[in-house]
Amino acid sequence: MPVYSYNIFKPLSIFLLIVTALIAASIFAETKYPVKLKFEQVSTHAVDALLNSQNVPEIIVSSWKAAHEKFLSEPPTGKIAHYDLNDDDREEVFLYLSGHGMCGNGGCHLIIFQFNKDNEKLEYKTARSSSDDILILNNSTNNGYHNLAIRLMNGVSMSKAAAYSLYRWRNGDLEQTHETLLFQ
């Protein structure tokens, strides 16, 4: 009588290989870079709350208030996006202020807040003239922090630059490099 040998490890190995491939594919699918920040409109009260309680420089706070008083028919607006820049499982908050009185030749106000683990609150970290066209890059990191590509704009004419400027996030400061990037 013939003896049949069935190797149970072969189907198990194939099954584990398929499961591993599916897990790897789902992880890769979740982290497609570059990531374009998605800004959402927020109320004036939400912007006021962030600006008034987070050690934001007075010049930004007073510009926001003055623009609301001066441009009653078309007041400035605020938009917020979130992204974890330093991989600490806490999303930084990007506040973008635009409209009359908030923009100049260098762009409009971009303010970044970071969560402080010690006091369990968001803290002001930095502000730059910018646009709301921001990409998070994964292929260039700096000490575990993501680099950003920001398309600068003229806040008066509202025309955006053709290329993105590369910024490095270092200890809560957004430092502009002299590198530009083109995305197609």
- pLDDT tens digit at each of 184 positions of the chain: 555 555 555 555 555 445 454 444 444 444 566 889 999 999 999 999 999 877 899 999 999 999 999 998 999 999 999 998 877 888 999 999 999 888 888 788 999 999 888 888 888 998 888 888 899 887 556 666 778 898 887 766 677 778 888 888 877 788 888 888 887 6
Assess contact for 168 and 153: CB atoms under 8 A.
Answer: no
| Phi, psi (rounded to 5 degrees) for 66 | -65, -40
The answer, as to whether pTM is greater than 0.85, is no
Q: Maximum distance among all alpha carbons in the chain?
A: 98
Contact indicator for 67, 78 with CB cutoff of 8 Å: no
Boundaries of every domain in the chain: 38-181
* Radius of gyration for the chain, computed over Cα atoms and rounded to the nearest angstrom: 23
